[in-house]
């Protein structure tokens, strides 16, 4: 039921993704956290326009926290921060702290310390993991005090626990989920997505193994699908900017 699980105790959760016209969100799941930034090859996850990127930063500027999966932070030089000064000003105007908090989900705890996000200490980072994952990553991160590690289950993450903890202990009232498809699947299946910001870009990838907005397990029946209604649609220079709200069924 959209928005029903712990809806009082958990943050408002918005998903923000850019997608190709054929529903892909990146090319092959290439790991490139350490690829030279000067490479002339544009990665397949970089198909959105500067306008789409500005929208991502405006959305972050209205959120207390940004959350994503381990593969996403390994897929590029990503810091999950607010971006340039004008967005920090916008955050202040929106009554928020200058820097959003950052949350990375990894059940295994096999998180690469070299990823760009961990080098930036402007705001705390939570690695949301399991007991097994905690044992794997606690030691490597012990010299980085801005990185916190917390377990939300023995071998699987309890989504209710995680989201309620974020509100209660990290004061996260609004959070943006920024992929990838595997993490999004967990949020969709537990009816934890209240709002979707979607950009459809005029490019087509094909490829049955390329990531989509929600990969992973999915749902077994049509009746289990989360329903959304479109509340905004705008086409600018070939890109379609959409916003949806979850249909509450309770």
Task: Using CB under 6 A, pick the residue from 33, 67, 157, 172 that binds ligand NAP.
Answer: 157
Question: Cα separation of 88 and 119, whole Å?
Answer: 19
Question: Cα separation of 248 and 17, whole Å?
Answer: 22
Residue 70 binds ligand NAP, judged by CB under 6 A:
yes
Shorter beta-carbon distance to ligand NAP: residue 97 or 192: 192
Residue 65 binds ligand NAP, judged by CB under 6 A:
no
Torsion-angle region of 237 (φ positive above 0: left; ψ -120 to 50: alpha; else: beta):
left
Residue 60 binds ligand NAP, judged by CB under 6 A:
no
Shorter beta-carbon distance to ligand NAP: residue 170 or 197: 197
DSSP string, 156-197: S--HHHHHHHHHHHH--SEEEE---HHHHHHHHHTT---EEE
Q: Could you say which residues in the range 75-134 bind ligand NAP, by CB under 6 A?
A: 75, 105-108, 110
Task: Using CB under 6 A, pick the residue from 68, 80, 162, 172 that binds ligand NAP.
Answer: 68
Residue 215 C-beta: closest distance to ligand NAP, Å = 5
Q: Could you say which residues in the range 26-45 bind ligand NAP, by CB under 6 A?
A: 26, 29, 45
Query: Among all residues, whose Cβ is closest to ligand NAP?
Result: 180
From the list 196, 248, 193, the residue with the least C-alpha distance to 11 is: 193
Question: Cα separation of 179 and 233, whole Å?
Answer: 21
Interface mask (CB under 6 A) for ligand NAP, residues 218-247, using x and -? ------------------------------
Question: Cα separation of 38 and 108, whole Å?
Answer: 31
Residue 71 binds ligand NAP, judged by CB under 6 A:
yes
β-strand 239-246 against 228-236: which pairing, if any? antiparallel
233 Cβ contact partners less than 8 Å away, ≥ 6 residues apart = 240, 241, 242, 243
Shorter beta-carbon distance to ligand NAP: residue 3 or 186: 186
Residues of this chain that interact with ligand NAP (CB under 6 A) are 17-18, 25-26, 29, 45, 68-72, 75, 105-108, 110, 157, 178-183, 186, 211, 215
């Amino acid at each position: 039921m959209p928005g029903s699980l712990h809806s009082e105790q958990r943050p408002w959760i918005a998903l923000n993704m850019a997608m190709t016209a054929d529903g892909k969100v990146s090319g092959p799941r290439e790991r490139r956290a350490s690829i030279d930034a000067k490479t002339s090859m544009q990665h397949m996850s970089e198909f959105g326009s500067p306008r789409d990127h500005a929208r991502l930063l405006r959305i972050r500027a209205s959120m207390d926290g940004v959350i994503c999966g381990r593969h996403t932070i390994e897929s590029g030089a990503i810091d999950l921060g607010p971006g340039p000064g004008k967005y920090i000003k916008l955050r202040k105007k929106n009554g928020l702290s200058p820097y959003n908090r950052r949350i990375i989900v990894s059940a295994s705890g096999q998180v690469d310390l070299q990823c760009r996000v961990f080098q930036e200490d402007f705001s705390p980072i939570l690695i949301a993991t399991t007991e097994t994952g905690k044992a794997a990553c606690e030691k490597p991160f012990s010299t980085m005090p801005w990185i916190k590690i917390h377990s939300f289950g023995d071998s699987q993450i309890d989504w209710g626990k995680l989201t309620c903890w974020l509100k209660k202990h990290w004061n996260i009232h609004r959070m943006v989920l920024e992929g990838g498809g595997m993490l999004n699947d967990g949020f969709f299946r537990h009816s934890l997505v209240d709002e979707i910001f979607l950009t459809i870009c005029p490019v087509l990838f094909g490829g049955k193994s390329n990531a989509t907005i929600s990969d992973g397990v999915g749902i077994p029946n049509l009746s289990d699908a989360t329903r959304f209604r479109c509340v905004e649609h705008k086409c600018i220079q070939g890109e379609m900017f959409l916003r949806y709200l979850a249909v509450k069924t309770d």
